[in-house]
Amino acid sequence: MSLNKLRNIGIAAHIDAGKTTVTERILYFTGTNRKLGETHDGQATMDFMKQEQERGITIASAAITCKWNDHQINLIDTPGHVDFTVEVERSLRVIDGMVAVFCAVGGVEPQSETVWNQADRYRVPRIAFINKMDRTGANFDEALNQMNKYLDANAIPLQVPMGSEDSFTGTIDIVNRIAYTFENNTRNENEIPAEYKDNVEAARNSLIERLSDFDDEIMEFFLEEKEVPAEKLMAAVRNATLKLLITPVFCGAAYKNIGIQLLLDSVVNYLPSPVDIGAVVGHDLNDEEKTHSRNPSGSESFSALAFKLINDPYVGQQTFIRIFSGKISSGMQIFNSTKLKNERVGRIFRIKAKEREEISEAGAGEIVALVGMKITKTGDTLCDPNNPLLLESIHIPVSVIELKIQPAKQKDKDKLGEALSKLVNEDPSFHARYDDETEETVISGMGELHLEIMVDRLRDEFKIDVEVGEPSVAFRETITESVESNYRHVKQTGGKGQFAHTVIRMEPNSGSGYEYVDMIKGGVIPGEYIPSVNKGIIKCMDRGILAGFPVVDVKVYLIDGSYHPVDSSDMAFQVCAEMCFKQGFNKAKPILLEPVMKIEVNTPDDYIGDVVGNLNRRRGKIESMRRYRKGSQKIVGTVPLMEMFGYATQLRNITSGRANYSMEFYQYMPLPSGVQEEVLKKLNEKKNK
């Protein structure tokens, strides 16, 4: 198939906007499914995990291939819950275009903004579908206004809805001036009803006027007040969409099968093919300033990005890749330029949600799963061993919440370790570590639901019964002052001793992570031991010093030291660096950093005072309050995560169940000294029990 006829698209939105229902209808109308699957009865094709079916939400992004109007569409349905934002992140990294789904009642909701910002980061062209036009309170114009106000989307409607709520009957295509009604899963073309004609012409003129800002030809038509042919208008819309200048907006009611065929037409007409996206650019392995580009063509050198890993009980680990250039075939040797090691391709599958179709080769633009990868992880670049390059990886958000777990039966200890390493492989926003001091396993992730799902999977998939502690906050440690630290490590035993001496200067490095600077002159420490010092510091930072939490935002200069020609070794310098760093850290006025969340609460006007008062008591800061819909407001602010346990129940109580909220990670901030003392005291008490 020609690459021009390929569309790699993602469907993304806030939770409950109807993404999975839209996807199910797309699969039905493209003939991929013979019957309609529903999220509410656990029958959705794309929500095939047991945990997804039980909760009626999407947890993992699922890929499927379908065909429409002689075009192949590779479709990724992504989660809407903020705890699974990494799934959206990695999907957006490999798709070419996106359908953003909005609820006609809720409009722009918190996760809509997150997804939109993620798509901006990867410069993904997008179209919007305003769903649930049949619901009470549906308001197409208000959803459009919110897209422009809160997302700066430059949203332009290409359809006018015919009615809304109970009276929603169909849509009018303003480009071609055709009214569509939908009965028995078929779309019918009609004349535009008289009462909508003025509205459609006004919308068409507005479209032409706004497109004239970006297209000289349309500008001429507009200035000369000539009729613009539909094909010229469509070409101008496509061009402006691909350049991220506008967002075309469509509408419908997926649950009632209204508007889906037109949405599919618009995916083909307005979203990019791999050819439109053009060459992918990667860095040279030896010189980061130097770049290499690969065009989306089978004749170029092979390049691909691994964006997802899944453990399949039947075929083992599947590595999902997006191929940007060249071809790949079974048995072929490829190079993992992130790990600097070769891999051999085992089997290649085209994925259809939980079904698979084995193929012998795949080419540029395709999204496939490989079986047999030994070392490849999420974000790794795979390429031709003779023409290596390194592609931009995937942004992984930080984990902010921890949970202590242990197997109910001691004999499952090793089994638990293996299962956790598989889950960590699959999900880069999930972490697991063993605490030697307390002899407990600690898992961390993006939120309570994220960890709840992981514990469920340990029980269901891996058949391990686990006992779970209370969720706790994943703090970080850092320093607030610059200090110099001088440490000499000397250990004499009967034979060869250990000797290392390091002098380091450490200073706060707010928001910039860890940096290591070698300032050794005159070979006072041999070059081979310089990385050993770095290794020792990193090991110490991972374990934490103040309270066992990872150390962040520190800049370390190695400024002096000495060595012994016989007794110095890699290990001696690692141990010395650890002790030197620990000593300096304790002198540099260390503090704890806490995760602070961005929160949005939608509440009826009657409860505003109670909700704001409650957030203030939780050390929250209110940034803005805006009209959400008639009779209710949206409160936006920040609040420390440690104050938010049990908030859902309390919010329900103070608003009689009429308010809802959503949270996402904002940033790490210093813990107030009074609170820090309390936290450290509690942690010490736990440790000494």
Residue ranges of alpha helices (H) inside 461-547 are 530-543
Residues 6 or more apart whose Cβ sits within 8 Å of residue 503: 484, 485, 486, 487, 558, 559, 560, 561, 580
Kindly report which listed range (19-23, 95-99, 394-398, 486-490) carries the lowest average pLDDT score: 394-398
Query: Can you tell me the mean pLDDT for 165-171?
Result: 92
Nearest C-alpha neighbor of 21 from the set 46, 2, 52: 46
Q: How confident is the model at residue 618 (pLDDT cuts 50, 70, 90)?
A: very high
Query: Which of 4, 10, 6, 2 has the alpha carbon at shortest distance from 75?
Result: 10
Which has more pLDDT, 98 or 629?
98
Taking the CA of residue 326 as centre, how many other CA atoms within 13 Å lie in the half-sphere pointing to its CB? 20
With cut-offs at 50, 70 and 90, classify the pLDDT of residue 423: confident
pLDDT band for position 92 (cuts 50, 70, 90):
confident
Q: What's residue 486's pLDDT?
A: 97
Nearest CA-CA partner of 233 in 263, 273, 204, 271: 204
* Cβ–Cβ under 8 Å, residues 514 and 533: no
Q: How many CB atoms lie within 10 A of CB 615?
A: 23
> What is the pLDDT, as a whole number, of residue 134?
94
Lowest mean pLDDT among 87-91, 414-418, 535-539: 87-91
Average pLDDT for 399-409: 86
User: Does the pLDDT value for residue 44 go beyond 60?
Assistant: no
578 vs 658 pLDDT, higher one: 578
Contacts of 674 (CB under 8 A, 6+ apart): none
Residue 646 has pLDDT above 50, yes or no: yes
Beta-carbon count within 10 A of 364 CB: 26
**pLDDT at position 668:** 92
More confident call, 158 vs 186: 158
* pLDDT score of 532: 96
pLDDT of residue 573: 96
- pLDDT attached to residue 580: 97
249-264, pLDDT tens digit by residue?
999 999 899 999 999 9
* Interval 300-334: pLDDT, tens: 999 999 888 877 767 778 888 899 999 999 999 99
Which carries the bigger pLDDT value, residue 77 or residue 388? 388
Name 225's Cβ contacts closer than 8 Å, sequence gap at least 6.
none
Tell me: pLDDT of 688 over 80.
no
Task: Give the end-to-end CA distance of the chain in Å, rounded to a whole number.
Answer: 66
Task: Write down the pLDDT at residue 45.
Answer: 41
Mean pLDDT of 443-460: 84
Answering whether pTM is above 0.75, one says no
Q: What is the pLDDT of residues 228-240, one digit of tens each?
A: 999 999 999 999 9
Mean pLDDT of the chain: 86
**How far is Cα 573 from Cα 140, in angstroms, rounded to an integer?**
65
In angstroms, the CA 597 to CA 667 distance is 7
Between 475 and 60, the higher pLDDT residue: 475
Mean pLDDT confidence for 24-46: 62
Q: What is the pLDDT of residue 47?
A: 37
Q: Note the pLDDT of residue 19.
A: 77
Q: Around Cβ 39, how many Cβ atoms within 10 Å? A: 23
Mean pLDDT of 284-304: 89
Question: The tokens of 138 are what?
Answer: 């549906």
**Among 1, 158, 129, which Cα is nearest to 74's?**
1
Please state, for a pLDDT cut of 90, what percent of the chain lies above it: 49
